[in-house]
Amino acid sequence: MDTSAAGKTFPPYEFHVERGKIREFAAAVGDPNPVYRDPAAAAAEGLPGIPAPPTMLRTFLYEPQTSAEALGVKDWSFIVHGEQEFEYFAPVVAGDVLTGTQRILSVTEKESRRAGKLSIGVIETVFHNQRGEKVQVLRRTLIETGQRIAD
Partner 1 sequence: MAQHPSFPSVNVGDEAPSLVFGPLTRTDFVRYAGASHDFNPNHHDEVYAKERGNKTVFGVGMLAAGYGGRLMTDWFGVPALRRLRIRFASRFWPGDVLTATGKVTAKNEADGLLECEFTLVNQDGEVIVRGDATVAPGR
Q: Which is nearer to partner 1, 4 or 59 (CB)?
A: 59
Inter-CA distances, 75 with 2, 8, 56, 149, Å? 13, 21, 26, 12
C-alpha dihedral sign at 109, 110, 112, 117: positive
28, 32, 38, 44 alpha-carbon torsion, rounded to 10°: -130
Taking the complex as a whole, the smallest distance from the CB of residue 4 to partner 1 amounts, in Å, to: 26
Taking the complex as a whole, the smallest distance from the CB of residue 64 to partner 1 amounts, in Å, to: 12
Q: Which is nearer to partner 1, 9 or 133 (CB)?
A: 133
Pick from 86, 101, 105, 106: which binds partner 1 (CB under 8 A)?
Answer: 86
Within 10 Å of residue 133's Cβ, how many Cβ atoms? 12
| Binding positions for partner 1, 17-56, rule CB under 8 A | 21, 24-25, 27-31, 33, 35, 41, 44-47, 51, 53-55
Binding segment (CB under 8 A) for partner 1, from list 87-95, 102-110, 118-126, 127-135: 87-95
- Which amino acid is residue 91, in one-letter code? P
For 142, the 3-state DSSP assignment is strand
Q: What are phi and psi of 133, to 5 degrees?
A: -80, 135
Contact residues: partner 1, CB under 8 A = 21, 24-25, 27-31, 33, 35, 41, 44-47, 51, 53-55, 58-61, 76-77, 80-88, 91, 148-151
